[in-house]
Chain A
Amino acid sequence: MPSNIWVLAETWRGQVTETTLELLTLGRELGGKLEVVLLGNKSLAASLVGADNVLCAENVAPTPEAVAAALTQLVKERQPQAVLVPWTNLSMDAGALAAAQLNAPFIGGCKDIKADAGTLVAQCVVYGGKLEAAVAATTTPALFGVLPGARAASSGNAPAVTDVTVTLPEAKVKFTKYLEPEAGDVDITQQNVLVAVGRGIQTKDNMELANDLAAALGGAVCGSRPVIDQGWLPLSRQVGKSGMQVKPKLYVMLGISGAPEHVEGIKGAQLIVAVNTDAAAPVFNVAHYGIVGDALEIAPALTDAVKAKK
């Protein structure tokens, strides 16, 4: 029986997300027929390029339970080998519920999946990025939560579409509305230069150093989650899994360890410079240039050097 790989499509603001397309590229590599489960507007099926077929069911509420119920039904009916689910806030809930309902493993945090003699083995990020595990699924179907950026977005032809019907249980979770973050003065997704601060900045007062550097470079300040949680920067400046995806030409990281949740947000950054006191920090695997040192000393030195040069 030819192995069947499925991708759970996720849509956001009326469009298919880039992560979905990345999963299509990965799914194609794993062999067999590549199908996409699209629980949303049929017109979006055309953008799922590279897939063989789209299983489309409209009118599925955007709640974890509805999506999971639909996915579970389809998987039970059609028995794919694996379902690739975007490992994002949007989709991981539904993926986790569906896996539980199917009594299947949900292997999350995958940065890569390879087929090894019929078995799918995922390379997973664990312990905050400090280690990686090679995890093989020993049963089918198996669900994989794949990190954004694992592959390039897919290309090719629009797929065929199959309408499917799913019966949903009585809803115990109802979606009410979206809450937008307060519009900040600055849209960091449009900035060419960003200075990002993490826990290493230590106190709110030291934010000044980042502000000075950003001003000297002609950019803006953003931060990783801990800094936003402390209230030192507004939500509109958060970069990462729950925050913004940014694509600046220059991204200077001060005192950020490089945990996956933040790194996810900077895949599009062209030049990444990281400053951290810990030479073993994962951030140095992501950055192009690294400085082992105290951000509180390096930042002002850098500001002075930039001003002198300009």
Chain B
Amino acid sequence: MNHDPVRITVLGIPGWAVLWVLSVAAFGVFGWRVWQLIGLLRRARPENRFDQLGQRVLRFCRHVLLQPRLFNERSIGLPHLVIFWGFVLYVICFNWSLVRGLFPVLPIPYPEEVAVVAMFLKVFAVLVLVSLGVAVVRRIFFPPAHLHLSWDANLILSLIATLMVTTLLNMWWTHMITVLCFLVYLPYSKHLHLLASPFNVFFGNLRPAGDLSIAGGSEELASGSSKWNEFTWKQLLSGFSCAECGRCDRACPAATAGFPLEPQQLVQKLKKHTIHGNGAKLVGETITEDEIWACTTCMSCMERCAVLNEQIPIIVQMRRHLVAEGQMAKTLQDALQNFNRYGNSFGKSDRMRAKWTQPLGWKVKDARKEPVEYLWFVDDYASYDPRMEEITRQTARLFQQAGVDFGILYEGERNAGNDVRRVGEEGLFEMLREKNQQAFAKAQFQTIVTTDPHAYNALKNEYDLNGTKVLHYSELFDRMIQSGSLVPVKKLGLKATYHDPCYLGRYNDVYEPARRVLKAAGVELVEMPRNRCQSYCCGAGGGRIWMEDTAGVKERPAESRVREAAALGVNVLVVACPKDLVMFQDAVKTAGLEGKLTVKDLTELVQEALKP
């Protein structure tokens, strides 16, 4: 630098004095605004996210510094990472410049006067400008659906570009003033995500995703949230952290199908209400009931979110409120009443729960009366739905053939309550859990195995089982094949694809056992484009199976999925969840794929492979 930029005078006032005035003003507004925002968080309900600091630091390093989630969509991961690191460098250098500018007496150089630093600044300026270029081209020519193209975003891209250009052109004052403007603008713009998301990641959920309980939460949470300050501070922080990228909307089966729900919009509405709090009601008006009920709780949104937002607990909080007010579809109401009275959603007597065992011709062990190694938690659909009965019996025969020592709880079993909780009837969930745990306490068994991923999730993550392991039946089959107690005698030689159930895969990271089982049975497995953690929900979860579709649905999630399967050229779609079976069988009919695609449960294929 040729001269000290703060040594100039403006209308007789020394440059450093002007800098002081501008800086104090800018930092003042910025600080006040941030303080205001923090104040809003403090008025919200508590939640304990202050444990396991070591883990949190690691999480921060991974998701804030390395940002793997940004790479889950093409061509934007690297540019954003570059912009981020450029930002880090520029923040350091800005503060360095500012200190030097405000205190000219300090014997330190400006950052640009240090050769290495100047080089980094220029290199990053170019890299950032290229990255911005990619971002702009993406926005204008290839915008992904649900990407919020706003003036806010354009202004930010322009400001960043200005900062880079002013660095390359050595325009010190313009650069500094631009930064100060950016500073003031930041906490009022979508770029608030810059400040909030590192904290959002740091305070992220360290417990299993399948556990909806809130640590350190107040009891009032159980009756739901209808106003912004009835959510927890962490839930509000999600609103501040949302970068309006639209990943959640693109992944959401409800949004894609044409339901009123768009997770991004939901989070943004929460943010707007928190900050501006206009006259309208948050729950019921700003966010409609249809939006809230449209969610299948598949967790695709949370799996994709670049800032690790937790949309589902927010939705469940609102559902809890609607349930407390009795505002829900009649069919859902009936299902809940049936759960309460009969322990199942079918409205059939709990005494009929084990009726499916009768045609077997032999007695399935009663785990309430004799000790067994495996307690088979059958759950509702497998027990009561006429379409599932025969498959449930086949599973029983398979277990017997493989020499598994198993038993069931007969009438002592109630629905595990996973979806009851996700629908927002927390009290009913607790009652079901209590009854099941009482039944478990009286029985003697080593391990629980279940055919229903929803039950699997609740039992594994939300029940107190004193360390008893819970297995999905695909995991048990896998073990049995590997240990040799189940030996497929013939290779099926058919081409099939496998649908990862949401509550087994995305929620609990169990992807491979079913695949190994299918390979052992000689099935040629072809993967759907949306596989494993990107599996596309069948649409039955979150209580949706007890609700009706709203008008304006373009393509139901299950139909989209079966078309995806059929397009692979396979004739079998393998499922490992009773609700998937029911949903996909219906979808095959309504999508006109009868005869082209058959839906089979994993059990059916294993059974076929065992026949000589």
Touch between A and B in complex, CB under 8 Å? yes
Q: A: which residues have CB within 8 A of B?
A: 202-205, 230, 277, 293-294, 296-297, 300
- The A-B contact count (CB < 8 A) is 15
Q: Are A293 and B386 in contact (CB under 8 A)?
A: yes
Q: Which A residues are in CB contact (< 8 Å) with B548?
A: 203-205
Q: Which residue of B lies closest to A206 (CB)?
A: B586
A230-B330, A300-B589 given; A205·B549 CB < 8 A: yes
Q: Which residue of B lies closest to A204 (CB)?
A: B548
Q: Are B386 and A277 in contact (CB under 8 A)?
A: yes
Task: Supply 15 A–B pairs (Cβ within 8 Å), ascending by A.
Answer: A202-B331, A203-B331, A203-B548, A204-B548, A205-B548, A205-B549, A230-B330, A230-B331, A277-B386, A293-B386, A294-B386, A294-B387, A296-B586, A297-B387, A300-B589
CA distance A294 to B586 in the complex (A): 13
Q: Which B residues are in CB contact (< 8 Å) with A277?
A: 386
Q: B: which residues have CB within 8 A of A?
A: 330-331, 386-387, 548-549, 586, 589
Q: Which residue of A lies closest to B384 (CB)?
A: A277
Q: Which A residues are in CB contact (< 8 Å) with B386?
A: 277, 293-294
CA distance A162 to B586 in the complex (A): 66
CA distance A296 to B585 in the complex (A): 11
Task: State the Cβ distance, B383 to closest chain A Cβ, in Å.
Answer: 14
Q: Which A residues are in CB contact (< 8 Å) with B549?
A: 205
Q: Which residue of B lies closest to A296 (CB)?
A: B586
Interface of A, secondary structure class, is loop
Task: State the Cβ distance, B553 to closest chain A Cβ, in Å.
Answer: 10
Q: Which B residues are in CB contact (< 8 Å) with A205?
A: 548-549
Q: Which B residues are in CB contact (< 8 Å) with A300?
A: 589
CA distance A105 to B509 in the complex (A): 68
In the A-B complex, the 9 residue pairs with the closest CB atoms: A294-B386, A204-B548, A203-B548, A277-B386, A205-B549, A230-B330, A205-B548, A203-B331, A300-B589
Q: Which A residues are in CB contact (< 8 Å) with B589?
A: 300
CA distance A230 to B386 in the complex (A): 24
Task: State the Cβ distance, B246 to closest chain A Cβ, in Å.
Answer: 29
Q: Which B residues are in CB contact (< 8 Å) with A294?
A: 386-387
Task: State the Cβ distance, A232 to closest chain B Cβ, in Å.
Answer: 9
CA distance A308 to B548 in the complex (A): 31
Contacts beyond the supplied A230-B330, A293-B386, A294-B387: 12 A-B pairs with Cβ under 8 Å: A202-B331, A203-B331, A203-B548, A204-B548, A205-B548, A205-B549, A230-B331, A277-B386, A294-B386, A296-B586, A297-B387, A300-B589
Task: State the Cβ distance, B382 to closest chain A Cβ, in Å.
Answer: 15
CA distance A309 to B549 in the complex (A): 33
Q: Which A residues are in CB contact (< 8 Å) with B387?
A: 294, 297
CA distance A230 to B332 in the complex (A): 12
Q: Which A residues are in CB contact (< 8 Å) with B330?
A: 230
Q: Which B residues are in CB contact (< 8 Å) with A296?
A: 586
CA distance A277 to B387 in the complex (A): 11
CA distance A203 to B331 in the complex (A): 8
Q: Which B residues are in CB contact (< 8 Å) with A230?
A: 330-331
Task: State the Cβ distance, B100 to closest chain A Cβ, in Å.
Answer: 69
Q: Which A residues are in CB contact (< 8 Å) with B331?
A: 202-203, 230
CA distance A121 to B549 in the complex (A): 52
Task: State the Cβ distance, B569 to closest chain A Cβ, in Å.
Answer: 26
Q: Give the interface centre of B330, B386, B549 by most chain A CB atoms within 10 Å.
A: B386
Q: Which B residues are in CB contact (< 8 Å) with A297?
A: 387
Q: Which B residues are in CB contact (< 8 Å) with A293?
A: 386
Q: Which residue of A lies closest to B589 (CB)?
A: A300
Q: Which residue of A lies closest to B330 (CB)?
A: A230
Q: Which residue of B lies closest to A277 (CB)?
A: B386
Q: Which A residues are in CB contact (< 8 Å) with B586?
A: 296
CA distance A297 to B582 in the complex (A): 11
Q: Which residue of B lies closest to A208 (CB)?
A: B590
CA distance A202 to B386 in the complex (A): 13
Task: State the Cβ distance, B391 to closest chain A Cβ, in Å.
Answer: 14
Task: State the Cβ distance, B84 to closest chain A Cβ, in Å.
Answer: 47
Task: State the Cβ distance, A156 to closest chain B Cβ, in Å.
Answer: 49
Task: State the Cβ distance, B197 to closest chain A Cβ, in Å.
Answer: 40
Task: State the Cβ distance, B182 to closest chain A Cβ, in Å.
Answer: 52
CA distance A277 to B331 in the complex (A): 19
CA distance A203 to B586 in the complex (A): 13
Task: State the Cβ distance, B552 to closest chain A Cβ, in Å.
Answer: 14
CA distance A296 to B582 in the complex (A): 11
Task: State the Cβ distance, B313 to closest chain A Cβ, in Å.
Answer: 28
CA distance A277 to B348 in the complex (A): 12
CA distance A240 to B203 in the complex (A): 60
CA distance A71 to B288 in the complex (A): 56
Task: State the Cβ distance, B273 to closest chain A Cβ, in Å.
Answer: 32
CA distance A46 to B549 in the complex (A): 56
Q: Which B residues are in CB contact (< 8 Å) with A202?
A: 331
Task: State the Cβ distance, B472 to closest chain A Cβ, in Å.
Answer: 26
Task: State the Cβ distance, A205 to closest chain B Cβ, in Å.
Answer: 6
Q: Which residue of A lies closest to B585 (CB)?
A: A297
Q: Give the interface centre of B548, B549, B589 by most chain A CB atoms within 10 Å.
A: B548
Task: State the Cβ distance, B585 to closest chain A Cβ, in Å.
Answer: 9
CA distance A205 to B586 in the complex (A): 11
CA distance A204 to B553 in the complex (A): 14
CA distance A78 to B276 in the complex (A): 80
CA distance A179 to B549 in the complex (A): 33
Q: Which residue of A lies closest to B553 (CB)?
A: A205
Q: Which residue of A lies closest to B352 (CB)?
A: A278
CA distance A205 to B549 in the complex (A): 8
CA distance A164 to B589 in the complex (A): 67
Q: Which residue of A lies closest to B545 (CB)?
A: A203
Q: Which residue of B lies closest to A232 (CB)?
A: B548
Q: Which residue of B lies closest to A297 (CB)?
A: B387
Task: State the Cβ distance, A127 to closest chain B Cβ, in Å.
Answer: 14
CA distance A207 to B243 in the complex (A): 43
Q: Which B residues are in CB contact (< 8 Å) with A203?
A: 331, 548
CA distance A179 to B331 in the complex (A): 29
CA distance A293 to B385 in the complex (A): 11
Q: Give the interface centre of A202, A203, A293, A294 by most chain B CB atoms within 10 Å.
A: A203
CA distance A275 to B387 in the complex (A): 15
Task: State the Cβ distance, B68 to closest chain A Cβ, in Å.
Answer: 40
CA distance A296 to B590 in the complex (A): 12
CA distance A297 to B390 in the complex (A): 15
CA distance A293 to B549 in the complex (A): 25
Q: Which residue of A lies closest to B586 (CB)?
A: A296
Task: State the Cβ distance, B337 to closest chain A Cβ, in Å.
Answer: 14
Q: Which B residues are in CB contact (< 8 Å) with A204?
A: 548
Task: State the Cβ distance, B465 to closest chain A Cβ, in Å.
Answer: 33
CA distance A14 to B586 in the complex (A): 50
CA distance A205 to B587 in the complex (A): 12
Task: State the Cβ distance, B345 to closest chain A Cβ, in Å.
Answer: 11
CA distance A294 to B549 in the complex (A): 21
Task: State the Cβ distance, B254 to closest chain A Cβ, in Å.
Answer: 16
Task: State the Cβ distance, A274 to closest chain B Cβ, in Å.
Answer: 16
